[in-house]
């Protein structure tokens, strides 16, 4: 049976591991000095060697005759540890065994001495997938395991692992492998496997594998199956839905030359040929980035003004997140590029953003004092500012951007910043949200929630709307928790996101009601608050004591306090950081 390259060439000894020299050296020294710990955590992106190094380490600490931290490969322990059926080196996939019961089975078996080896080693892969209960069950055992047990936890997402677990482990961060190391390793493997492949193909594989050796071997494996002849760059592009330098150059030139027809035709042709349009946008961004770097570092001149490259790349990178999560990337990319070209190659938007730095605080506040937002009244903003000067009245710009008409700047100041100019802060907003939360919990309706989960997708239709898109996406970033006939409750990951959305509550509510066709109010809370309240409510509901602690209340009237833009920013900073490290200056 054919064996995939990443399995066939998986390192068996520390000397075979590439790109993780510091980690290998530390682990070998700990074996030489017999000072290895009882618990380790290996974290890093996929394909960087976490599980492989875990297995090598497990074999080496059990070797009867290790030499310079490496196992001999000849003793009985080594022969046993290399077998797939080795019962003393236990590999557990936490993604599919993430419950408390699975961890309790481990704990029950831990006190049993190893059957053949010196140490019983538990390798828990993707440990961040364990439930909170499972982590808690593991905690005490991880802190004080028997002397014959070693834990190795591997994860691609250490942020999800509780700090109490991390503090009990020796932590090693596996870095992404440099491209040159991946290329050299691929050359060796290609030579052994008699694969004919161009060096530039290996360089592309190394780049697109994003520092992962396993991914790069997987790409090489695919290419070998794709063609029996010499593997060329065209083969690599065809297999992965990418385009070559010629097409990239033509695409960028057409965008910067405002040739909308040719841009749309190219996108359509790419789509027909099965190209990956999202990946093509990344290719364009990388292509432009290289042009910019060559200009500034190698002093290479370009036929196209460098600011045009900068503006286009700035525009594309700003929209990467939206491009990745839309259902129809072709449509979104088409509209994105059309908007860019219609905005004069993005120069207006970029210049205006720079121009805002030239507007003094006094002018900024004075010109926008009339724009007052009440978060509980559906009053649309007036984003138009009267023209005060003729079109030839210009202001100086920063850096390479020379001039822009003053009336455009003033219009942009109003349009881009009116949402945070002067607002009426609701002093008792937390009380209002708590009341809405309680009332919605008591009147929650499962069928209404199911219907709303379907209807809320309509908000994605606002993605291209300059006024509604940003706020619609803000709401979509939250999680719909509970729905009643009067209100919908959304929770968000962080308190700072909740606070920002509460500032825009009136606008978000208006967009939500008009898009979904209902009159429900909105309640925004943090995920931590929702977890606490929902668990407490569920417990009291099961025990039949809900009425003793929860009751329908009348929503309090909002109490307003007018805030200037600086105050809003200051209060957000205070919420985001500790008061001791925030200094407010005029």
- pLDDT tens for residues 269-281? 998 888 889 989 9
Q: What are phi and psi of 368, to 5 degrees?
A: -120, 10
Task: Tell me: pLDDT of 382 over 60.
Answer: no
Contact 51, 216 (CB under 8 A): no
Lowest-pLDDT range of 65-74, 124-133, 226-235: 226-235
Q: Look at residue 351 in the predicted model and tell me its pLDDT.
A: 42
Q: Look at residue 390 in the predicted model and tell me its pLDDT.
A: 42
Q: Look at residue 562 in the predicted model and tell me its pLDDT.
A: 60
CA-based angle 200:202:205, to the nearest 5? 115
pLDDT one-digit tens code per residue, 461-500: 876 666 777 788 888 888 899 999 999 999 998 888 888 8
pLDDT one-digit tens code per residue, 136-146: 888 888 888 88
Contact 154, 51 (CB under 8 A): yes
Helix residue ranges per DSSP H, 230-377: 233-240, 245-256, 260-272, 277-297, 306-318, 320-325, 329-342, 347-355, 361-367
Q: Look at residue 500 in the predicted model and tell me its pLDDT.
A: 83
The mean of the pLDDT values for the chain is 80
By percentage, how much of the chain surpasses pLDDT 90?
28
Furthest CA-CA distance within the chain: 90
- Residue 523 makes CB contacts below 8 A (sequence gap 6+) with 433, 436, 437, 440, 487, 488, 489, 490
Task: Tell me: pLDDT of 383 over 70.
Answer: no
- 403 burial via Cβ count (<10 Å: 0-12, 13-18, 19+): exposed
Domains of the chain: 5-174 (3.40.50.300), 179-240 (1.10.8.60), 245-345 (1.20.272.10), 428-558 (no CATH)
DSSP-assigned letter for residue 404: E
Calpha distance 127→161 (Å, rounded): 7
Calpha distance 342→114 (Å, rounded): 71
Q: Look at residue 296 in the predicted model and tell me its pLDDT.
A: 87
Using alpha carbons, select from 35, 101, 88, 30 the residue that is nearest to residue 58.
88
pLDDT one-digit tens code per residue, 244-258: 888 888 999 999 888
Residue 43 bridge partners (DSSP): 155, 173
Calpha distance 61→290 (Å, rounded): 46
Banded model confidence at residue 568, pLDDT cuts 50, 70, 90: very low
Could you please report the per-residue DSSP string of 92-117?
Answer: EETTTS-SHHHHHHHHHHHTSPPSSS
Banded model confidence at residue 170, pLDDT cuts 50, 70, 90: very high
Task: Tell me: pLDDT of 369 over 50.
Answer: no
pLDDT one-digit tens code per residue, 545-566: 888 888 888 988 888 776 544 4
Contact 340, 255 (CB under 8 A): yes
Mean pLDDT of 80-100: 87
pLDDT one-digit tens code per residue, 188-201: 999 999 999 988 99
- Residue 298 makes CB contacts below 8 A (sequence gap 6+) with none
By percentage, how much of the chain surpasses pLDDT 70?
81
Mean pLDDT of 10-34: 92
For residues 526, 421, 410, 346, the Cα torsion angle rounded to the nearest 10 degrees is -10
């Amino acid at each position: 049976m054919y064996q995939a390259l990443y399995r066939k060439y998986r390192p068996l000894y520390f000397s075979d591991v590439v790109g993780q020299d510091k980690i290998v050296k530390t682990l070998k020294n700990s074996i030489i000095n017999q000072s290895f710990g009882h618990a380790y955590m290996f974290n890093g992106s996929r394909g960087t060697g976490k599980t492989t190094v875990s297995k090598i380490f497990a074999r080496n600490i059990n070797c009867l005759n290790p030499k310079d931290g490496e196992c001999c490969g000849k003793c009985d322990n080594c022969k046993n540890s290399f077998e797939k059926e080795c019962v003393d080196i236990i590999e557990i996939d936490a993604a599919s065994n993430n419950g408390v019961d699975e961890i309790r089975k481990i704990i029950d078996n831990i006190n049993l001495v190893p059957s053949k080896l010196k140490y019983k080693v538990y390798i828990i892969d993707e440990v961040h997938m364990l439930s909170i209960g499972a982590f808690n069950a593991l905690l005490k055992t991880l802190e004080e395991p028997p002397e014959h047990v070693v834990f190795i936890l591997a994860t691609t997402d250490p942020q999800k692992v509780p700090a109490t677990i991390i503090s009990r482990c020796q932590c090693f961060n596996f870095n992404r492998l440099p491209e040159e190391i991946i290329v050299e390793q691929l050359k060796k493997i290609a030579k052994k496997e008699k694969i004919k492949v161009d060096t530039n193909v290996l360089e592309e594989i190394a780049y697109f594998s994003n520092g992962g050796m396993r991914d790069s071997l997987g790409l090489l494996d695919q290419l070998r199956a794709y063609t029996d002849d010499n593997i060329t760059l065209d083969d690599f592009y065809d297999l992965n839905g990418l385009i070559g330098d010629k097409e990239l150059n033509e695409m960028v030139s057409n965008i910067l030359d405002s040739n909308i027809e040719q841009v749309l035709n190219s996108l359509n042709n790419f789509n027909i040929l099965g190209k990956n349009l999202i990946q093509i946008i990344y290719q364009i961004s990388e292509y432009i980035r290289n042009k910019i770097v060559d200009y500034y570092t190698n002093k290479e001149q370009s036929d196209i003004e460098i600011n045009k490259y900068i503006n286009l790349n700035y525009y594309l990178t700003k929209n990467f997140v939206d491009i990745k999560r839309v259902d129809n990337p072709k449509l979104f990319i088409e509209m994105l590029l059309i908007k860019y070209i219609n905005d004069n190659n993005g120069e207006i938007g970029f210049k205006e953003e720079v121009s805002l730095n030239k507007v003094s605080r006094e002018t900024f506040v004075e010109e926008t004092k009339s724009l007052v937002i009440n978060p509980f009244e559906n009053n649309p903003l007036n984003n138009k500012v009267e023209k005060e000067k003729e079109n030839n009245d210009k202001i100086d710009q920063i850096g390479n951007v020379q001039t822009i008409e003053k009336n455009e700047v003033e219009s942009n100041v109003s349009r881009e910043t009116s949402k945070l100019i002067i607002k009426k802060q609701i002093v008792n907003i937390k009380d209002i949200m708590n009341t809405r939360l309680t009332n919605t919990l008591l009147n929650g309706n499962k069928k209404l929630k199911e219907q709303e989960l379907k209807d809320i997708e309509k908000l994605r239709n606002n993605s291209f709307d300059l006024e509604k898109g940003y706020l619609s996406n803000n709401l979509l970033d939250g999680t719909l928790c509970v729905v009643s006939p009067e209100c919908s409750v959304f929770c968000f990951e962080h308190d700072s996101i909740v606070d920002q959305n509460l500032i825009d509550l009136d606008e978000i509510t208006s967009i939500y009601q008009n898009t979904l066709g209902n009159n429900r109010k909105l309640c925004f809370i943090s995920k931590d608050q929702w977890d606490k309240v929902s668990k407490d409510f569920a417990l009291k509901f099961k025990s039949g004591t809900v009425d003793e602690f929860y009751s329908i209340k009348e929503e309090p009237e909002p109490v307003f306090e007018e805030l200037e833009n600086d105050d809003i920013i200051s209060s957000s900073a205070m919420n985001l950081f500790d008061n001791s490290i925030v200094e407010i200056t005029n």
